[in-house]
Structure 1
Amino acid sequence: MEPGFYAIAAADPDRLAVIDADGTETTYGALLARVNQVSHGLRARGLTTGDVVAGMLPNGIDAIVMLLATGQIGLYYVPINWHLTASEVAYILADCDAKVVVAGPGYAVPGAETGTDGLAAGQPADAPGERTSGAVMWYTSGTTGFPKGVQRPLPGAAPEAILPLYAWFLGEVVDLTPGDAVHLVTSPMYHSAPCAHTQFALHLGHTVVIAPKFEPLTILELVERHRVSNAMMVPTMFHRMLQLPEEVRDKFDVSSLRQVIHTGAACPVAVKRQIMDWWGPVLYEYYGSTESAIAFAVKPHEWLARPGTVGRPAPAFEAKIVDEDGNELPPGEPGLIYVKSGLGTFEYRKDPEKTAASMLGEWYTPGDIGYLDADGYLFLCDRRTDLIVSGGVNIYPAEIEAALLEHPAVADVAVIGVPDEEWGHNVVALVQPAEGVEPGPALTAELLEHCGPRIARFKHPKAIEYRPRLPRTPTGKLSRSSVRAGYLAENAGSSL
């Protein structure tokens, strides 16, 4: 089977394409007809190559249609996070210069079309003329300042001309191949990785199953019912899965899983080992960013031989670690990670200064600290912005969080640095106790004792505080800067 949704749908229209969250099934042929109608509808609105369309759409057929329609008529498509405030949405729409906005029925976006019905109405279902590849333009999360659109040059070729390259790349890094397979969507498609994996599942001829939301039992039930073969998840999902009682886990048949790809945050070694003990050696990991795409990747058996690594540079990528002066560091020395891609460049829309600030010549930094071992495998330490310097020593919060997450009483944890006149920063752990666990001095003592054999004494939290819940995005990302700001606001004037 040659890769490419459009060709697969034309050759095998009865093939099952999507099983929506409500159980509705859509074939490749029916999906292609809708995609073509919306493509004609967008052109009827006067859009031409290089124009921008935005969508605030829940996971489902409309979101998929917009990806595939813009992808064959040379448009940029901007998926918008439906959790944003009205002012945040307005900022993105103004910044991206969207000429058409499509929103789900429950989202109040001024001037937006409701769903794709209006665009498709009265339009032909045959392929549009002069087909040329579009691109998705994701807006970064904006943890510092306003979010910016990550814009790549349009390929200037029909989708069929470029899809084989992407199919080859996915095959190299995560062993996904064209043919009969089932992909499970577990996260919102306004994020880059879930969106890309949904799109490419269809380009590989797979069936896409959309989970209504992430709930461990729901996910396991869908895997068993639909014989799911591949999915994309994040480490917090694994942690929640592992909190299920063993007798509950054993009720579900997960033997169909072949590739469970994870990204988005560092995965504690203990968590990853436990999932592979349960599901088998099926966890594929990659590391990158919206800007760099997949820069490093590691397959299950490679990881088992080097626990904790996020892999070696992906095909067409180079990597180096540099110090604060831009000098390249030798293996084993932590520093700022830089990557260079042979697959194309990017720029931040309307912000050449921000683009330049993230580059070192042709090299881009995601802003993370890590080191390469002697064989070129990358090990992450943490975000540069989250680094804690206490007594002149660098402390990486992710390492402490991984140790605490190994304790069964911990459902979630965020480790932050709190300013201290003597030490520079003190380490504070904010812990969300597991269900039914009573927080208090006894638990604090137990957690500190638990840290003893796992991390050096100087890394132990100076204080452990408890929270009913920690703020994470639907894809499991924790913004320590937001947690830190909230903590400092709550504790203004106090000292540890």
Structure 2
Amino acid sequence: MHPGVHAVHSPAKPAAVQAETGEVLTYATLADNSRRLARYLHDQGLRPDDHLALLTDNTLRAFEVHWAALRSGLHITAVNRHLTPDEISYIVDDCGAKALVVSARLKDLVERLGVPGVAVRLAYGVRSGPGRPDGGRPDRDLPEAYTPYAAALAEASDKPLPDLPRGTDMLYSSGTTGRPKGIHKELPGVAVDEIPTMVASIVALNDFDRDTVYLSPAPIYHAAPLRFAEAVHSLGGTVVLMERFDAEGALAAIERYRVTHSQWVPTMFVRMLKLDPQVRERYDLSSQRFAVHAAAPCPVDVKRAMIDWWGPVVNEYYSSTEANGLTFIGSQEWLERPGSVGRALLGTVHVCDELGAELSAGKVGIVYFARDEATFSYHNDPAKTARAQHPDRPNWTTTGDMGYLDEDGYLFLTDRTDFMVISGGVNIYPQEIEGSLALHPRVLDVAVIGVPDPEMGESVKAVVQTPDGVVGDDELADELQAHLRERIAGYKVPRSFDFVDELPRTPSGKLLKHQLRRRYVKPDAAPR
């Protein structure tokens, strides 16, 4: 249950493949490089419970760094490379990183960071000479004050460290309402060759084994891609890593590498569904056994179309970076209960009102997961930690999602507490409206928000990104309103439409609604 074990039995087997180039990271190389890096970090003074930060693009070296942290008992903080230098510097400082490993491809960004407290700094992707398979740059492009990663590995002993506890991640929230916060978890309390509870849940959920070929199209700094790769490597399977998501490129990767498992977010589904039918039919996708999606609500029409296309291999889980609980639903169950995210597999789901009183089936409230004990805290933020806990039961925790349970315990999400629109005293959930527009042929992307209204308190506004060649005007607004009136109640139909070139989304597909709302609402005028 560790790359070193698989390296003994299958040294030449690909642990990971770069989808676009075919570059291979074998289990022998993954085991050797992570062992040497672990030794190097130890020799530099890092000890169990210390923190290591990683700033990278989607490259295979990231897996070596991840496993070096896991086999050293370290907390690894993978940082979103799309943040500003100030935001990245804040995270590296806030997590208390004693070491920072970066990709030299991000040299311009790296050299703008202010991380004076980090003593150990390494950069990979700086190989000299022609034909570099990882696209690395010459040594002269090494970021200032960083040691070449390859040189550090060459310097380090290949002797394994003495038995240490298994490390874990400490990732940061997206920070849509302020500074991102680190989600701290205690070390899992197992040896590096044992599987902790959350990773075991991923293995069981996805039926991973040593023959798994797992396609990862999302940024590797996010929780799900990082943790799923960890699970695949623990079992001895292969991760196919895309540099970035591309709709047709993803289909090509499934065919080329005979992908058995994959993970998506709903915006990726939408992009693939909007490919020309002839393009979609060009690729052999028959190797797929299990395609899972999460991270954001999936519109019902989108998911039904994906099941029609790919068959009953489309599955869904609901969880969070906090990993405070987990639900799951398969294709057939979902077809019987469209819109559900399933029943709990980790923790017990409760839906409560704002005061903490538990609600009966069918009533919308705040979604809590109950565990034997609280499973996470927000680093350096006890107030936010307290807000995530039930007022009377601290082992019931929430990430702010709203929803309801049906009579059989299936969970349906309605939206986040932050995004609900209150118009004329009526609660309106933007997720439903967005889902009804997602597959409209003249809509590429859409966000629905509440804006101040002197009569209603708030009114519903839709902000739409149109495909190339489609003009956003009053005629299109009327068409979209008519489309919605056939699908949802009239009071939910947006009163106004704006058309924009692009909506603010993270690379993982998460819509930054707070950022969007600031375009329309002055801070002192915001009702919430």
Using the size of structure 1 for normalisation, the TM-score is 0.95
CA distance in 2 between partners of 1:239 and 1:431 (Å): 15
What is residue 169 of structure 1 aligned with on the other side? 201
Match of 1:134 among 153, 167, 181: 167
Per-residue deviation at 1:330?
Answer: 0.1
Q: 5 Å matches for 1:70-469?
A: 70-107=69-106, 108=110, 109=113, 112-115=121-124, 116-163=149-196, 165-166=197-198, 168-174=200-206, 176-315=207-346, 317-342=347-372, 345-360=375-390, 361-469=394-502
Per-residue deviation at 1:11?
Answer: 2.4
**Residue type of the alignment partner of 1:15:** K
Aligned residue for 1:197, secondary structure, equals: helix
CA contact (8 A) 1:220 1:252 kept: yes
CA contact (8 A) 1:420 1:426 kept: yes
CA contact (8 A) 1:33 1:125 kept: yes
Aligned residue for 2:31, secondary structure, equals: helix
335-344 or 428-437, which deviates more: 335-344
What is residue 7 of structure 1 aligned with on the other side? 5
What is residue 487 of structure 1 aligned with on the other side? 520
Q: Which whole-Å deviations, capped at 9, do the CAs of 1:291-333 have from their partners, x for residues lacking one?
A: 1355211122211111100111113x11100011110000000
Aligned residue for 1:252, secondary structure, equals: coil
Q: Number of aligned residue pairs: give it.
A: 487
What is residue 473 of structure 1 aligned with on the other side? 506
Unaligned runs of 5+ in 1: none
Q: Which whole-Å deviations, capped at 9, do the CAs of 1:157-213 have from their partners, x for residues lacking one?
A: 3122335x5564224433x22121211110111111111112211112111111121
Two-structure CA RMSD over aligned residues (Å): 1.8
CA distance in 1 between partners of 2:495 and 2:91 (Å): 40
CA contact (8 A) 2:264 2:294 kept: yes
CA distance in 1 between partners of 2:326 and 2:295 (Å): 13
Per-residue deviation at 1:58?
Answer: 1.4
CA contact (8 A) 2:374 2:395 kept: no
CA distance in 1 between partners of 2:152 and 2:261 (Å): 32
CA distance in 2 between partners of 1:207 and 1:342 (Å): 34
CA distance in 2 between partners of 1:18 and 1:189 (Å): 13
Aligned residue for 2:448, secondary structure, equals: strand
CA contact (8 A) 1:292 1:366 kept: no
CA distance in 2 between partners of 1:300 and 1:62 (Å): 35
Per-residue deviation at 1:44?
Answer: 0.8
CA distance in 1 between partners of 2:243 and 2:220 (Å): 12
CA distance in 1 between partners of 2:501 and 2:150 (Å): 42
CA distance in 2 between partners of 1:46 and 1:313 (Å): 42
**Residue type of the alignment partner of 2:122:** E
Percent of paired sites with the same residue: 39
What is residue 61 of structure 2 aligned with on the other side? 62
Aligned residue for 1:89, secondary structure, equals: helix
Q: Structure 1 residues 248, 293: CA separation in 2 closer, same or farther (over 3 Å shift)?
A: farther
**Residue type of the alignment partner of 1:245:** D
Aligned residue for 1:370, secondary structure, equals: strand
**Residue type of the alignment partner of 1:100:** A
Q: Structure 1 residues 192, 408: CA separation in 2 closer, same or farther (over 3 Å shift)?
A: same
**Residue type of the alignment partner of 1:5:** P
What is residue 44 of structure 1 aligned with on the other side? 43
Aligned residue for 1:241, secondary structure, equals: helix
CA contact (8 A) 1:33 1:126 kept: no
**Residue type of the alignment partner of 1:327:** A
Q: Structure 1 residues 337, 125: CA separation in 2 closer, same or farther (over 3 Å shift)?
A: same
CA contact (8 A) 2:462 2:497 kept: yes
CA contact (8 A) 2:324 2:375 kept: no
CA contact (8 A) 2:443 2:466 kept: yes
**Residue type of the alignment partner of 1:422:** E
Q: Which whole-Å deviations, capped at 9, do the CAs of 1:266-307 have from their partners, x for residues lacking one?
A: 000100111111111111111121113552111222111111
**Residue type of the alignment partner of 1:159:** V
CA distance in 2 between partners of 1:329 and 1:26 (Å): 50
CA distance in 1 between partners of 2:399 and 2:318 (Å): 10
CA distance in 1 between partners of 2:396 and 2:152 (Å): 41
CA distance in 1 between partners of 2:484 and 2:379 (Å): 44
CA distance in 1 between partners of 2:83 and 2:376 (Å): 25
**Residue type of the alignment partner of 1:52:** H
Aligned residue for 2:259, secondary structure, equals: coil
CA contact (8 A) 1:167 1:177 kept: no
CA distance in 2 between partners of 1:434 and 1:35 (Å): 44
Aligned residue for 1:488, secondary structure, equals: coil
CA distance in 1 between partners of 2:72 and 2:91 (Å): 22
Per-residue deviation at 1:156?
Answer: 3.1
Using the size of structure 2 for normalisation, the TM-score is 0.89
